[in-house]
Chains A and B, each alone.
Chain A
Amino acid sequence: MYVAGVDSGALTTKAVILGDGKVLSHEIVLTGMGGKAHEVVEMALSKADLSTDDLAFVVATGYGRINVPFAAKQVTEITCHGRGAHFLIPTTRMIIDVGGQDSKVIRLNEQGNVVDFAMNDKCAAGSGRFLEVMANALEIDLEEMGKLSLRSKKTVEISSTCTVFAESEVISHIASGIPKEDIIAGIHRAIASRVAGLFFSKVRRKVEQDSVVMTGGVAKNIGMIKSLEEEIGIRIIVPPKPQIVGALGAALIAQEECFM
């Protein structure tokens, strides 16, 4: 029996195909560039030599989840990230997801059920959008930021918390000849401190080793992970394909639906 999970995000759309509890294939496409949910699912299906008719159940998640007509069920990305992360890393108790629009912190119990979560307010600071704006100001690729920042010897302090102010601050740093890597390290620290705020709002007691997992595209940014680890003071585990955790969770829920 085959099922699919599709995560329709602001930036990218992701699909995961499961067969008998195993991941058969996945696909990631930029939402703006033809990343329509059904097309992404079909692309993933064809990788696994399957077609839509083979699917027993589809669950949609992400911001665009209500606009996925062929999905039989919509589930929030909070529950899906929880499910996906717990499947990949059973020790998961806290999930950090820095998304394009908002950042989330999700707390799980031992069974992998979500017990609590927090989302940042509408402010762009502390979200993936902040990174995008800054990459743009620095005229570098979003993808490059992580590696570049590792070369930094001296983290520059980005003193403004607001994206708009911080952007002009970054521009003036560039103008005064400060190495890009130092600026990027500063940007990472700025976001990390906001995300840490969200994190601590849901963790009052001690956090166990190996229980903090980061999901979402930003988790591929190694510099970001490093800054976050410094801020929260514990190692963060990143699953191999952090972007597809939400879609994976959706697929897992689709599978449960079939057995219900």
Chain B
Amino acid sequence: MAEEKKYKTGKAKKTLSVDVLKYVSKYYIEANRAKKKGSKPICYHTSLDPIEIDYAMGIIPMLPENFAAICGALQIAPDLIEVAEQRGCPSDLCSYFKNHFGYMEGGKDLPSMKDAFDMNLIVLPDPDIVCSLRNICRLHPIWMRQVARFYNVPAFTMDAPQLHPKTSLSKIDDHYIEFGVSQLKDYISFLEKHTGRKFDMERLSETVALSDRLSKIFEEIYELRKVTPCPVGGEDLNSLVFFLVTEAGSQEAVDVAQGILDEVKDKVRRREGALPEGTEEAHRVSFVGIPPWHDMATAFTYMQKYGATSVDEIYVRAFSGFAGRMDPSHPLESLVRKYFFIYPTTTEQALRLINIEDITGYGIDGFICWNLTTCRLISTLIARLKAMYDLFNIPYVTCDADQVDPRQYNVEQVRNRLDAFFENLEE
């Protein structure tokens, strides 16, 4: 019986010339090569882990989350998720996790998978070690524990505790920084022990400097998006997350980002907007949440018919850190600042500043909240932000969706909501 796959393919139109998938494949190919030769160890991470340390020690960080996002974009996540659900994963569990769990538990060898992976050269090499810093969700470290069990490899867990609510991001108490630094030191010993590689603080200063450079370039890009018309939209920025999340600390990421920054500057000079030619920029919105990698067209291209574009995404900005610039002469402290105090470990006040500030800085008309029903963290953040927008009378719309699984998603319903939102804005 022939089967027809009917998952909606929704690639968004991009405005930047950079081919992200090319860099992604290159990264995966090199990782697989290293794995085969045994030249460099592979360490799995959850996102927003201090991978600068890995880069400093010649270890390749791989992120199953990033891999899941790619599977989402390639429309193959549902098949992997089905495998996970057949292995007993509850359907309301994180789709990123299920995607990877399904991949491990046999999904890897599904005929449909093999084609997709081989064609795009995206194959996740097995880990030698795993690590997770719990600074986002509680699922992260448990995920890595499951991976460690499956592959029988050593695991390391770190924890970023919640900041005391009265703390200001510019004046973080010493015992927080100390706790962070001591865990990073433990992480380094763990890596030395299990990979046999030597750690060198000077190398770390270099990768921290590169990482800081990368963050800075992204900050500049975000600054440039404050102009009207906005030179580049959310569809592009979201895909660039790859560099921030897996390549923070590498020279390549800095080079690519520099090229992008130049391109954006150029566009600003030419007053060229992200919207297609002939469409005038009528609305500027901020995008909240993890985007639906399987249907970026609905999330970003669809709004173009209202002359709207996404000029800000808190998801992307979270990857460059909230607590200020890094200082290569204090690499460990800098990493703690970058990775330990982001949403949700930061304070309410900081979150509010970061999000509500957007309104004035970016000239935002409203927020599009992309709610993930399978993610406790995002759904709680969005519920929380909605209450905040209500308080300040800021327009917003919530779309219930999933980041990779179209089965949990009703595209008509979502488009309807977007229609209603923009019609209201127009009034």
Contact = CB atoms under 8 A, between A and B. Distances in A.
The answer to whether any beta carbons of A and B sit under 8 Å apart in the complex is: yes
B6 A157 contact: yes
B407 A161 contact: yes
Interface residues of A, number: 20
Contacts of A197: 85-86, 88
B86 A152 contact: no
Interface of B: 1-7, 78, 82, 85-88, 91, 406-408, 410
Contact of A193 (B1, B86, B408): B86
A153 B2 contact: yes
A45 to B, nearest CB: 44
Interface string A94-129: 000000000000000000000000000000000000
Nearest to A164: B410
Interface in A191-205: 193-194, 196-197, 199-201
Contact of B1 (A155, A160, A161, A168): A155
B104 to A, nearest CB: 15
A245 B330 CA distance: 72
A165 interface: yes
A152 B407 contact: no
A145 interface: no
B408 A154 contact: no
A185 interface: yes
Q: Is the interface of A mostly helix, strand, loop or mixed?
A: helix
A159 interface: yes
Contacts of A200: 86-88
B59 to A, nearest CB: 33
B371 to A, nearest CB: 16
Given A197-B88, A200-B86, A154 B410 contact: no
Contacts of B408: 160-161
A165 B82 CA distance: 18
A185 B1 contact: yes
B6 to A, nearest CB: 4
B88 A201 contact: yes
Contact of B6 (A156, A165, A231): A156
B88 A157 contact: no
Given A161-B407, A193-B82, A156 B7 contact: no
A155 B3 contact: yes
B1 A157 contact: no
A161 to B, nearest CB: 5
B410 A157 contact: no
B4 A154 contact: yes
A154 B3 CA distance: 5
Contacts of A165: 410
A159 B91 CA distance: 14
A151 to B, nearest CB: 11
Contacts of B4: 154-157
7 contacts: A154-B3, A154-B4, A159-B6, A161-B408, A197-B86, A200-B86, A231-B86
A192 to B, nearest CB: 11
A67 B21 CA distance: 63
Nearest to B4: A154
A222 B87 CA distance: 25
A155 B408 CA distance: 20
Contacts of A201: 86-88
A199 B85 CA distance: 11
Contact of A159 (B1, B85, B87, B407): B407
B236 to A, nearest CB: 27
A157 B82 contact: no
Contact of B3 (A157, A168, A193, A231): A157
Nearest to A160: B407
B237 to A, nearest CB: 28
Contacts of A168: 410
